[in-house]
Amino acid sequence: MAPRTLRVDGIELCYEEFGDPAAPPVLLIMGLGGPMFWWEDDFCTDLAARGFRVIRYDNRDVGRSHRGTAPARLVPVYLRRVPPEYTLEDLAGDAAGLLRELGIDRAHVVGVSMGGMIAQLLAIRHPELVRSLVSMMSTTGSRKVGRISAKVLVRMFRKIPEDEDAYVARNIEGFKRIGSPRYFETNLERQQARARRTHAYGLNPEGTMRQLAAIVHAPDRTADLARVRVPTTVVHGTADPLVHVSGGKATARAIPGAELVLIPGMGHDMPRELWPVLLDAIERTARRAS
């Protein structure tokens, strides 16, 4: 299916589907600044081939979905002096609204990084819509776990180039910094193609900062996660420099009965070589729900 746009609670969200419309739905939620096709086409078709209706979408402030207007003001937001334009709970509300507009009663929900935070909140605040949960390379919101490397954090605030070649070079630099070292060379061509597609799709650096403001403003979800009652799997790489593996471990501890899958050598990315592990985790968790 070609991308479509729906009006959800007053904002536009762009989404795309793969697979049989009558199959059990899986909602894929991407992370900070990532358009929906960072859930790669082949990944989505492989998941659909396992018997699922796969739905991916642009979060607000990404790609062709609604764009905010307020300045991010990260430090005042972090210090609770001003509120962000929207919160992670608002982003979870977007996901809930999308499911309702699509006429989906309940879905298997999978989120990566910031998308994992949104997926957790969807299960917490809208439990009637969630059949199972997979939280990948994410954390609980506690400032004691899931720490970000200071070197990585500083580089995140560098200006994003507008020129395509410069953007691709910056993207590859970031990919090498936070990705899985053992799979860098074998995934380099894919990453370059994804960066060019992202540049053509449309960049929104201010939107990424507004999303980051929502992340730094978010409270600790640990106590709320204890109320999640759907089958859950937490996936995290042991070599993740962006969200420390302690974030994944804490998430799994917080959710009753959660399965923890630690992947040796995986950074903050999804190398194609590890897709079978990730797809198996999604399918296994969904089967537990049925």
What is the per-residue pLDDT for 248? Answer: 98
Contact 268, 178 (CB under 8 A): yes
Q: How far apart are CA 27 and CA 39, in angstroms?
A: 11
Q: Tokens 């302690």 belong to which residue?
A: 246
- pLDDT by residue (tens digit) across 33-92? 999 999 999 999 999 999 999 999 999 999 999 999 988 888 898 888 999 999 999 999
Specify the pTM: 0.97
Per-residue pLDDT band for 1 (boundaries 50, 70, 90) equals confident
Is residue 236 within a helix (H) or strand (E), and if so which, with residue range? strand 232-237
Per-residue pLDDT band for 216 (boundaries 50, 70, 90) equals very high
Q: How far apart are CA 213 and CA 210, in angstroms?
A: 5
Domain boundaries 4-289, corresponding CATH code: 3.40.50.1820
Q: Tokens 């795309």 belong to which residue?
A: 16
Asked whether residue 152 carries a pLDDT value surpassing 80, the answer given is no
Task: Let me know how long the chain is.
Answer: 290
What is the per-residue pLDDT for 205? Answer: 93
Contact 137, 240 (CB under 8 A): yes
Q: How far apart are CA 116 and CA 140, in angstroms?
A: 9
Per-residue pLDDT band for 281 (boundaries 50, 70, 90) equals very high
Q: How far apart are CA 37 and CA 56, in angstroms?
A: 8
Of 210, 216, 194, whose CA–CA distance to 60 is shortest? Answer: 210
Average pLDDT over the chain reads 95
Write the CA distances from 249 to 139, 153, 246, 258, integer angstroms. 8, 21, 5, 10
What is the per-residue pLDDT for 23? Answer: 98
